[in-house]
Amino acid sequence: QVVEERPAPAPPAKDSDVAISHPERVIFPDSTLTKGDLADYVATVAPLMLPWVAHRPVSLVRCPQGRARACFFQKHDAGSFGPHVHSVPIKEKDGGTEPYLYVEDADGLRACIQMGSIEFHGWGSSIATLEQPDRMIFDLDPDPSVTFYDVKRAAVHIHDQLAELGLTSFAMLSGGKGVHVVVPLTPDAAWPAVSNFAERFAKALAQGDSDRFVAVATKAKRKGRIFVDWLRNQRGATAVMPYSARARAGAPVAAPVAWRELDGIDTAARWTIRDGDELVTRAGSAAMRGWGVADQILPDL
C-alpha cells in the first residue's frame, strides 16, 4: 500500500491565521495588483500603520470586486468580519448608539482586507479618550487647476502658521490629490473646542490669502484655490490613515513625509502598495523618526 505524500498547505503569509480567499483576484486592474498583493503590503506595513489605526473607530472603503467596480464606505460593524475585528458602541448625535469597527493588530487589518477593504479611515480620537481628539488635520483639497507645487507650498505655509502658534505639525501625502497637515494633540480639549479651533484657523487663512485658500466646501468657490478642509475635525468625521492604500488608479498609499523632503516630491501618489519594503526602510530613517509625535495642546486662538 502506497501512501501518497501531499505537500503541506502553504502557511498563510507572515504567520497570520487569517486566510485570504481569492488572493489572485485583480483588484487594481490598471496595475494588475491583486487582493493577495494588498494583503502582503498590509502585512509589511502593519507595524507602521497600527500606531495610528489601532484602538480607534475606523471606517473602511470596501470594494469586493476591485476598485473599478462598486465600492462602499462602511462605518458600522456588520458582524461578519470574524474574531479579529472588534466593535465598540458609540453614541451618535441623534441619541442613538451604533457599533463602530476597530482593530488592534495585524490580524485585524488582514481580516479587513479579506472582507474586500482597500482603504482605512479613522476618527481623530482613540477609543480610550473618544471625546478628546489626539490629532487635528487640515486636509488640503486643491481645485483641479491647482498644481501639486502649489499644494506643497500651501502645506508649508500652514506648517509655518501653526509653528507661530507653537504647534508642531507633520505632512502626509494623501495618496490622492492633496496633502494632509497633521497636528498631534495630547487628548485634552474636547471635540467642539478642537473643531472650533480648526474652523477659525482655516477661516483666518482664507481671509488672509483669499487668492489661494477657501475654507468652505462649495466647489464653485474653489476655482483655482485650495479648500482647507477643517471639517475632518468634527466628532465622527474620518480621514485616511497613514499607510492606508487608496482605491485609486495605480494603487497609491497615504504616505507620511518629512517636511524637508516634501520639496522633492511631485505627486501625492508618490508611493504605492508595491513599495511596502521601501516605506518600512524610510520609516526608520533619521528624517522620519518621530513623525506624527508631539505632546501638545491647542493654544488660545
Segment 45-74, which members bind ligand ATP (CB under 6 A)? Answer: 73
133 binds ligand ATP (CB under 6 A): no
**Contact 124/136 with Cβ under 8 angstroms?**
yes
User: Would you say 39 or 268 has its CB closer to ligand ATP?
Assistant: 268
Binding residues for Mn ion, how many (CB under 5 A)?
4
Q: Which of Mn ion, ligand ATP, none has residue 250 at its interface (CB below 5 to 8 Å by kind)?
A: none
Cα distance between residue 149 and residue 299, in whole Å:
30
Residues 260-289 that bind ligand ATP (CB under 6 A): 268
| Residue 24 beta carbon to ligand ATP: minimum distance, rounded to whole angstroms | 28
Q: Do 167 and 298 form a contact (C-beta atoms < 8 A)?
A: yes
- Of 219-248, binders to ligand ATP (CB under 6 A) are 229, 238-240
- From 62, 135, 177, 225, residue interacting with ligand ATP (rule: CB under 6 A): 177
SS3 category, 104: coil
Residue 239 CB, shortest distance to ligand ATP, in Å, is 5
For helices 35-53 and 106-114, angle between their N-to-C axes, nearest 10 degrees: 140
121 makes contact, choosing from Mn ion, ligand ATP, none, with CB < 5 to 8 Å by partner type, with: ligand ATP
- Under rule CB under 6 A, residue 176 binds ligand ATP: yes
Cβ neighbors of 284 (< 8 A, separation 6 or more) are none
Interacting residues of 83 by C-beta distance below 8 A, sequence separation 6+: none
Nearer to Mn ion, 26 or 231 (CB): 231
Q: CB of 114 within 8 A of CB of 148?
A: no
Residue nearest to Mn ion (CB): 229
Does residue 146 interact with ligand ATP by CB under 6 A? Answer: no
Burial class (CB in 10 A: 0-12, 13-18, 19+), 298: buried
State which of positions 35-94 bind Mn ion (CB under 5 A): none
Quickly list H helices, 22-126: 35-53, 106-114
Which helix H or strand E contains 86, and what residues bound it? strand 85-91
Q: Does 178 bind ligand ATP (CB under 6 A)?
A: yes
Burial 197-213 (b: 16+ CB within 10 A, else e): bbbebbbebbeeeeebb
Q: From the DSSP assignment, how many helices (H) and strands (E) are in the chain?
A: 6, 14
**Window 113-142: contact mask with Mn ion (x via CB under 5 A):** --------------------------x-x-
E strand or H helix at 194: helix 191-208
CB of 206: closest distance to ligand ATP in angstroms?
17
Residue 121 found at the interface with ligand ATP (CB under 6 A): yes
Considering only residues 164 through 183, tell me which ones interact with Mn ion, judged by CB under 5 A.
Answer: 178
Residue 66 interacting partner from ligand ATP, Mn ion, none (CB closer than 5 to 8 Å by kind)? none
Binding residue (CB under 6 A) for ligand ATP from 40, 107, 134, 141: 141
Q: Assess contact for 202 and 158: CB atoms under 8 A.
A: no
- Using CB under 5 A, which residues numbered 188 to 247 contact Mn ion? 229
Q: Where along the sequence are the contacts to ligand ATP (CB under 6 A)?
A: 73, 121, 139, 141, 174, 176-178, 229, 238-240, 268
Q: Where along the sequence are the contacts to Mn ion (CB under 5 A)?
A: 139, 141, 178, 229
